[in-house]
Amino acid sequence: MTQPKGGAPGESALLANLAAETPGVADAAALTLSLSEFLAEIRGWNARGNLVSQSDLSRLVSRHVAESLAIVPLIDRLGVRQILDVGSGGGFPIVPVKLARSELAVALVESRRMKSLFLRRVGSRLDLRNFWVWTTRVEPLAQLPATPESSSLERVAATVTEEMPALRPVVDLVMARAVASLADLARWSEGLVRPGGWLLTFKGSKLEEEIAEWKRSPGPWDLESVEPGGPGVQHVVLRRT
């Protein structure tokens, strides 16, 4: 097995263990190598792109990769095929998820140009197919017109001009980590998720407050589940009615 690049020896071992423990991965060594290439890109770009905080550089694997791969079984259970990742930042959790499940079609929404450039570089360097990066905010994306082609991320991506599509995507799952309140995400995602689809968010210490705020105006959403996602992290899943 080729040794992962960058990080301390203990981090390399943890990365290999996480890859091996992720259900449904046929080649854990290949996943480990791809994840290590991704982390090397983060370390190389972080000074100019502010992808993660300096304090988090020492726990890219123990926190960020671990939290990202922890949602793979949940995504499997939901049976999704197309994901819109909102506020993608440095690529967590969507890049590790895509590496673990290459068959997923994913679109990354990131308003900051330096970060979107980084994400495109990652997609190119790791040869990720059905992987699109759009430089925009989710609010204007949600206001775009929808057509029958909106149900295909590939067709929506074909309409992109100036880094943003002309059509509104309608996907199985909108996912967001450390982006806005649950109430705001639910409101913005109403037109981006197909009926019967889901919104998946990562929440921390203010979970109960955010759920209470969302329940005051729930819109077309039901609370599907709240599940532990690691130390101090809860996965909140809303289902679109």
Structure confidence at residue 8 (pLDDT): 54
What is the token pair recorded at 153? 């991320």
Pick the closest to residue 63 from 122, 14, 109 (CA basis).
14
pTM across the whole model: 0.94
Q: Find the helix or strand (DSSP H, E) in which 75 lies.
A: helix 72-78
d(CA 67, CA 149): 33
What is the residue whose two structure tokens read 């890219």?
A: 60
Structure confidence at residue 3 (pLDDT): 42
Residue-level pLDDT, tens digit, the chain, 241 residues: 344 455 555 889 999 999 999 999 999 999 999 999 999 999 999 888 788 888 788 889 999 999 999 999 999 999 999 999 999 999 999 999 999 999 999 999 999 999 999 999 999 999 999 999 999 999 999 999 999 999 999 999 999 998 999 999 999 999 999 889 999 999 999 999 999 999 999 998 899 999 999 999 999 999 999 999 888 899 999 999 9
Structure confidence at residue 96 (pLDDT): 98
Q: Where are the beta strands (DSSP E) in 29-89?
A: 82-86
d(CA 200, CA 185): 10
Structure confidence at residue 197 (pLDDT): 98
Cβ atoms of residues 101 and 72 within 8 Å: yes
Structure confidence at residue 191 (pLDDT): 97
Structure confidence at residue 1 (pLDDT): 39
Cβ atoms of residues 118 and 49 within 8 Å: yes
Q: Which residues of 63-80 are buried (b: 16+ CB within 10 A; e: fewer)?
A: bbbbbbbbbbebbeebeb
**What are residue 133's DSSP bridge partners?**
108
